[in-house]
Chain A
Amino acid sequence: MSESGDVWSESDTTPAAISDALRELLKQRHAEAEAVVPARVLNLVVIVDREWRGEIQNRLDKVGSYHASRTILCSVEEGRTTIDGWASMTAEEDVSEGELAVAHEQVVVDIGPRHLESLDTIIDPLIVSDLATLVWAPHGHREGVDACSRLAQIVLFDSVDVDDPVAAVERSRKLAESHYVVDLAWLRSTPWRERVASTFDPHQWRGELQSITSVAARHQSESAIAGLLLFGWLSSRLGWKPGRVTAHGGAMRGSATAHRQEIKLSLEPDETMTTPGLAGITIETASGLSISLDRGPGGLTARRRTRDGSEHEWTVTGASRGESGILGEGIRQALLRDHTYAPALGAAGEMVA
């Protein structure tokens, strides 16, 4: 669908001037086409390094239908002392007569590091009141996130971006004290969690959940946290007592304790995998059942082996969402509440404490 839009920009400007410009853009667009109405769902505040701004804008452009209604990109440039503003309003162009053209607003604010401490005072006039506000700082900028704390109810965070799993868990826990946290690493594991839940859903396999003896997760080399969150999820859902998971060379190993048995846990990096997230899972039970899920063509390749040696293989269909799809899902999840993340994070935290 093609889009058209009006643009405003000003150097050495103020948040109030940008806010006025947004109002004026809306009036102009509405005067040009009455069908244009602004989306009113979510404010997204993104804090980025100036030099990587293009890459993040590119990711935001590809989130598909999950655009925030107003995106405020705060681009932090070393040495900058003034604020430059740019605002645009785009709306679908080729809508049928009688239908709506939903408009999305984008604001880019060029700021310097000195502005981060009081970023809330810059953002406040720019967000749409009464809408949920999500803040995302893919390049760190904790100072800016903390400053926006009073305005944002939700923080988008990717625990994979934090080098050390211990620090990742700690950062997420800290954020969760004051915000609802949407963790992209958690969202990447959603299809895996859904499939594990489905695999054990038929009655004939449901009982096996109580006799799991080992779980092995394979992950992209920098995504150990994704595996830990999966272990944390299993622990919290199945009532396991988390034990220590420690580094063994490039891998991590540990255990958890269930009512009747100990569960061996292992995380193995998959060096062939280039995108963040999980590469595969194998779950074994005391009865000799082994279930594996691995990335494959057209979805996940599932393999089931039973004690008698019989093996079955099938494909669980599903297309890869790609990193833009994950980001879009993260924005969408800002409007929902997943009560299983915090317990999973808590259990993962105990494993690496």
Chain B
Amino acid sequence: MATEAGHEVKDEANPLADGLERQPIHPTTLTIFGATGDLSKRKLLPALYNLAHEGALPERFNLIGSSRSELSDDDFRELAQESIREYSRREPDDKVMDALLANVRYVSGAFDEDDVYEQLKEATAAFDEDADVVFNRVFYLSTAPSFFPVIVGQLGEHGLGHHDDSDVRVVIEKPIGTNLAEAKELNQAVLNVLDEDQVFRIDHYLGKETVQNMLAFRFANGLFEPIWNRNYIDNVQITSAEDIGIGSRAGYYDTSGALRDLVQNHMLQLLCLLCMEPPVNFYADEVRDEKVKVLHAIHPPKPEEVADMTVRAQYTADAVAGEEVKGYKDEEDVPDDSTTETYAALRLEVDNWRWAGVPIYLRTGKRLARKVTEIAVTLKPVPHLAFREEGSVGVQPNQIILTMQPNEGVSITLGAKIPGSRMRIRPVNMEFLYGTAFMSESPEAYERLITDFMRGDATLFTRDDEVEAQWAICDPILEAWEADDAPVHEYPAGSDGPDEADGLLRSGEHWRAI
């Protein structure tokens, strides 16, 4: 089926679909590469079950698992059942689970083996033939990134990359490379076989309701847009703090670090949603075009600017929530001489008409004081401070705080008169809490994203140029850090981060307390 700008273009609309909350999804065969892996067991299979439970899967749906493990169809069915029972957000209904997994297939083998793809070809064709319907094909690459080009190349080699009568889509998990060169190389390898509109680069963060709500906040409220520019906004702080350490992820984390793990993807996505111009509509490419414009307007630091525009640090042993915790270098499997940052802070600017001159501060870290993800937009102070009175903190600039977790919502700090005979002012909060205003529970991000890619809607997925533009910002920083051009500072576990991060701020500015 033809797609344009990420949404399906049908020759003739289905009159029965109009008004339905859940729009029809074309019958689909989903193949998960890495089907016995952690992501599949913890997230994908439970998400598929929950969609099946809610009647949200396509009317006809087939599942194929593939990995190196030698399993039969029945073994894989059993593994899927166990995963669903353990990780589903709701108690599974056995009848629904049986129906979901009744026709499940499993193909074992290494991802570079031709036989795997021949078996997949046969299995998908058999599903079509049995049903007398040509199913769309979706291949989900839930594997180590090194297999992405291998699998996509093999799909192409075996004629699985395109189909005359159905849509073929490939879903790729992050990370897309570990630097710009790798990202470009991977994108090129993928696009040698597939068209960009077949590729869905998944970043589950974008599937979260509160991240999507940023678009509603900005573009459904006339209240904010007039002030959403350099004339009224003084600075922006984007924070993604975690109170936990790296746990057992040293193997991954020590080769990644905070910048690659969170800044290059999640935090730059938040920055884009905050700074982008209103798209003409909410079709995938219109939204992504606007995000890419923001990324292109960010001037990546030159090598000599990295030390002034960034701070990296590692946590040291201290107390968190009353418990002593290890420092990063004392964590299991972390090398003693590791320079991997567990904290990163950046000062960026978006050099365009709307944002020129507004510093945008990003910070993320492990083992910080608490878990919080928020964007704090600080407005410029009022021009005339008529309320200078002794005995109060006085007039503070207004702040608009968009909180993604743990308490999803929006708050605005306002100056208010303290009751009494004198005109004393202090900031107070006006809060909107997302959880109190809707009855619905937010669906799991993966459930939303699975239905989106099966429907062919790429709005919440990252495009090739978007990924490359993100790396273009982070690459010079990583290069400078790897060349040891910037020191690795330290911060006590349970703190707000290293003192050196204050050096990124302009005179009179402060980091918001975490």
Contacts and interface: CB of A to CB of B under 8 A. Distances in A.
Contacts of A338: 19
Contacts of A68: 439
B55 A206 contact: no
Interface string A61-85: 0000111110000000000000000
B131 A312 contact: yes
Given A197-B24, A198-B59, A238-B15, A317 B132 contact: no
Contact of A202 (B100, B133, B436, B440): B133
A326 interface: no
Nearest to A337: B19
Interface stretch (A22-30, A144-152, A297-305): A297-305
B441 A65 contact: yes
A134 to B, nearest CB: 11
Interface in B87-143: 93, 95-100, 102, 130-133
B15 A203 contact: no
Interface stretch (A35-43, A109-117, A162-170, A243-251): A35-43
Contacts of B20: 190, 193-194, 197, 340
A31 interface: no
A69 B406 CA distance: 21
Contact of A198 (B24, B99, B132, B406): B24
A37 B24 contact: no
Interface in A301-351: 302, 304, 306, 310, 312, 314-319, 331-332, 335-336, 338-340
A206 B100 CA distance: 25
B436 A299 contact: no
A52 interface: no
Interface in A159-212: 190-191, 193-204, 206, 209
Contacts of A200: 14, 16
B63 to A, nearest CB: 11
A40 B437 CA distance: 5
Interface in B40-87: 52-55, 57-61
Contact of A340 (B11, B18, B438, B439): B18
Grouping DSSP codes into helix (H, G, I), strand (E, B) and loop, the B interface class, with mixed when no group exceeds half, is: loop
B55 A194 contact: yes
Contact of A39 (B16, B371, B436): B436
A306 B57 CA distance: 24
B27 interface: yes
A258 interface: no
A201 B17 contact: yes
A100 interface: yes
A96 interface: yes
B436 A297 contact: no
A98 B406 contact: yes
A335 B440 CA distance: 11
B55 A100 contact: no
Contacts of B15: 209, 237-239
Interface size class of B (residues with CB under 8 A): 35 or more
A102 interface: yes
Contact of B102 (A98, A195, A315): A315
B24 A318 contact: no
Interface string B4-29: 00000011101111111110111100
B14 A100 contact: no
Given A314-B60, A317-B99, A237 B54 contact: no
Contacts of B188: none
B392 interface: no
B57 A317 contact: yes
Interface centre among B25, B102, B438 (most CB of A within 10 A): B438
Contacts of B52: 299, 317-318
With a 10 A CB-CB cut-off, give which of A96, A191, A193, A194 has the most chain B CB atoms.
Answer: A194
Given A204-B133, A317-B52, A318-B55, A298 B100 contact: yes
A98 B407 contact: yes
Contacts of B486: none
B291 interface: no
A15 to B, nearest CB: 24
Contact of A201 (B14, B54, B406): B14
Contact of B22 (A194, A209, A315): A194
Contacts of A312: 130-132
A197 B1 CA distance: 18
Interface in B424-478: 433, 435-441
Contacts of A51: none
Interface centre among A38, A197, A331, by most chain B C-beta atoms within 10 angstroms, is A197
Most buried by A among B21, B95, B99, B439: B439
Contacts of A12: none
A316 B58 CA distance: 8
A99 interface: yes
Given A98-B407, A312-B131, A317-B100, A193 B16 contact: yes
Interface residues of A, number: 57
B369 to A, nearest CB: 11
A206 B133 CA distance: 13
B366 interface: no
A286 to B, nearest CB: 18
Nearest to A37: B436
B363 interface: no
A263 to B, nearest CB: 14
Contact of B27 (A96, A195, A202): A202
Contacts of B440: 65-66, 332
Given A193-B16, A315-B99, A317-B99, A302 B55 contact: no
B95 A41 contact: no
B55 A191 contact: yes
B53 to A, nearest CB: 5
Interface string B372-410: 100000000000000000000000000000000011000
B370 interface: yes
A40 B370 CA distance: 27
B439 A65 contact: yes
Interface in B200-229: none
Given A198-B59, A298-B93, A96 B99 contact: no
A179 B10 CA distance: 35
B19 A38 contact: no
B19 A339 contact: yes
A314 B130 CA distance: 11
Nearest to A304: B132
Contact of B16 (A42, A100, A102, A196): A196
Contacts of B10: 203
A310 B131 CA distance: 11
Contact of B59 (A203, A306, A316): A316
A319 to B, nearest CB: 5
Nearest to A233: B16
B370 A41 contact: no
Nearest to A96: B406
25 contacts: A39-B439, A40-B437, A66-B439, A69-B436, A99-B407, A100-B407, A102-B436, A194-B22, A197-B20, A198-B24, A198-B58, A198-B59, A202-B133, A203-B10, A203-B11, A237-B18, A238-B15, A297-B95, A299-B55, A299-B96, A302-B59, A316-B55, A319-B54, A319-B96, A339-B19
Interface of B: 1, 10-12, 14-22, 24-27, 52-55, 57-61, 93, 95-100, 102, 130-133, 370-372, 406-407, 433, 435-441
Interchain residue pairs A-B with the least CB separation, the first 9: A318-B55, A298-B99, A340-B19, A197-B16, A198-B59, A201-B24, A298-B95, A317-B52, A198-B24
